[in-house]
Structure 1
Amino acid sequence: MKTLAILVLCSLAVICLTSDASTGSQPAGDNPAQEGLFVEREEASTVVRQKRAAGELSPTQLESLREVCEANLACEHKMDIDGIIAAYTAYYGPIPY
């Protein structure tokens, strides 16, 4: 196991050294690492994951909404008729995730 860890660390070191050598010939203005930590809002919005729409909830998230709604008989009845998302939104407001 120790041999595998040493082999992985050595391969990472080689990759880092070779990637630095290949980018060393670029002008300083083309290197994104030297530009700083701040980016434009449009660029950041493409990188940062957007909040998912209500219809794209995972099965675990839907189950947690269902458990909350089952405690209220009116919400449970609406859940059977209109669906879990409509029932939860009607009785408890916007979905928290």
Structure 2
Amino acid sequence: MKTLVLLVLCSLAVISAASDADAGPQPANDDPAQEGLFVEREQASTVVRQKRAAGQLSLTQLESLREVCEANLACEHMMDTSGIIAAYTAYYGPIPY
């Protein structure tokens, strides 16, 4: 039984290799832009949202960070000494907006 399974697997491998050889070499495409891996800067900027610097947060966003940080006493203390951006980042990670 093992011999039969081995024979079937070998024949499938030979058939697969023969069908790949019949296809012939594929034409080389040296231009990566044609493959869709790279896009123009303008197109990428419309798709990917740019992160803002900490100074560009609106008052509403800063208040939202403050409310989250006030729930944790250590974060609230750090907020009073180091600022809301540093405190939020230290305790909760990067700012989500």
TM superposition score normalised by structure 1: 0.53
C-alpha offsets along residues 47-86 of structure 1, whole Å, 9 cap, x if unaligned?
Answer: 5663211221100000000000001110000000000000
Q: How far apart are residue 45 of structure 1 and its match?
A: 4.1
The aligned runs of 1:7-86 (5 Å cut-off) are 40-45=39-44, 50-86=50-86
What is the CA-CA distance between 1:94 and the residue it aligns to?
Answer: 0.6
> What is the rounded CA distance, in whole Å, between the counterparts of 2:87 and 2:78 in structure 1?
5
What secondary structure does 2:68 align onto? Answer: helix
Alpha-carbon distance in 1 for matches of 2:96, 2:64:
11
Query: Is residue 93 of structure 1 aligned with residue 96 of structure 2?
Result: no
The two structures have a TM-score, normalised by structure 2, of 0.53
User: Which consecutive unaligned segments of at least 5 residues does structure 1 have?
Assistant: 1-39
Give the greater-gyration-radius structure (CA): 2
Distance in 1, Cα, partners of 2:87 & 2:73: 11
Q: Which amino acid letter does the alignment assign opposite residue 94 of structure 1?
A: P
CA RMSD for the aligned pairs? 2.0
Identity between Structure 1 and Structure 2 (%): 79
